[in-house]
């Protein structure tokens, strides 16, 4: 087995997993038992009917011209009907069987190439997704930190308000925001018109204060 084919083992699994509908004919479905192929015996030669080395050598390696014409035909149509096979064979001075074998091998090479292309495409997409995941995770961390800060702010404000109201019961009519720093946690979620108050919008035109929001959503 070549190194290229070894490299394809994982890609195949990956692609099959991601596109089961596309590659069902390529790889066995999950749960499907792939029969172990019976191992082929080596033909050590010397049998009756075996060709001489010279005859075998003569058959080897098609000429560039033959390959060019075969490639041209393959480019037009990957499948080979018997009529076209016979015509090509006579044009090229080859056995129809050789033409069929050439197309068979060419299809296998083409398929391998396609799989490699598909694999590198999926790999690129996967890398992008991983980067995006990292970005979102750090965003989550950042937001959690912001939330923690907001909690502290709310806690501080609550304590100060409690202190003020217990010290001067006459001022129970409302908060005196002059003494309080603007609540930073509203940030980009701040509601127009409520910039100076610790309120959150919870939809349907309802607004609640920070502690209630915390109780609801934390």
CB of 214 to DNA, least distance (A): 59
Please pick, from the candidates 13, 108, 129, 202, the single residue that binds DNA as defined by CB under 7 A: 108
Rounded CA separation 116/12 (Å):
9
Query: Which two three-digit tokens encode residue 91?
Result: 């044009």
Asked if 6 interacts with DNA (CB under 7 A), we say no
Asked if 107 interacts with DNA (CB under 7 A), we say yes
Q: Tell me which residue of 147, 143, 144 sits closest to 213, measured CA to CA.
A: 147
Residue 105 vs 176, nearer CB to DNA: 105
Q: For DNA, what does the binding mask look like between residues 65 and 104, x meaning CB under 7 A?
A: --x-----------xxxx--------------xx-xxxxx
Site for DNA in 133-162 (CB under 7 A): none
Please pick, from the candidates 31, 32, 38, 217, the single residue that binds DNA as defined by CB under 7 A: 38
Are 34 and 28 a contacting pair, CB within 8 Å?
A: yes
Residue 88: CB atoms within 10 A of its CB come to 22
DSSP string, 145-157: HHHHHHHHHHHHH
Q: What are phi and psi of 174, to 5 degrees?
A: 180, 175
Residue 99 vs 157, nearer CB to DNA: 99
Instruction: Report how far apart, in Å, the C-alpha atoms of 124 and of each of 117, 118, 121 are.
Output: 11, 10, 5
Rounded CA separation 93/113 (Å):
29
The residue range among 36-44, 126-134, 162-170, 187-195 that interacts with DNA, by the rule CB under 7 A, is 36-44
Site for DNA in 42-61 (CB under 7 A): 42-45, 53, 56-57, 59-61
CB of 102 to DNA, least distance (A): 5
Query: Which two three-digit tokens encode residue 72?
Result: 């041209």
CB of 37 to DNA, least distance (A): 5
DSSP 37: P
Using CB under 7 A as the criterion, which residues of the chain lie in contact with DNA when the complex forms?
1-4, 26, 35, 37-45, 53, 56-57, 59-62, 67, 79-82, 97-98, 100-105, 107-109, 111
């Amino acid at each position: 087995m070549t190194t290229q084919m070894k490299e394809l083992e994982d890609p195949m699994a990956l692609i099959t997993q991601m596109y089961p509908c596309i590659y069902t004919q390529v790889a066995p479905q999950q749960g499907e038992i792939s029969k172990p192929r019976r191992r082929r015996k080596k033909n050590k030669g010397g049998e009756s009917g075996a060709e001489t080395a010279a005859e075998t050598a003569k058959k080897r390696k098609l000429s560039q011209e033959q390959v060019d014409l075969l490639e041209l035909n393959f480019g037009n149509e990957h499948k080979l009907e018997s009529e076209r096979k016979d015509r090509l064979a006579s044009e090229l001075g080859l056995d129809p069987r050789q033409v069929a074998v050439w197309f068979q091998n060419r299809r296998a090479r083409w398929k391998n190439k396609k799989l490699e292309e598909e694999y590198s495409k999926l790999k690129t997409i996967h890398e992008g997704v991983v980067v995006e995941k990292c970005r979102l995770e750090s965003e989550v961390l950042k937001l959690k930190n912001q939330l923690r800060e907001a909690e502290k702010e709310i806690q501080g404000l609550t304590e100060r308000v409690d202190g003020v109201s217990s010290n001067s019961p006459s001022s129970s009519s409302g908060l005196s925001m002059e003494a309080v720093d603007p609540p930073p946690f509203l940030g980009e979620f701040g509601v127009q018109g409520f910039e100076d108050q610790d309120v959150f919008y919870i939809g349907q035109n309802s607004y609640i204060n920070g502690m209630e929001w915390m109780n609801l959503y934390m």
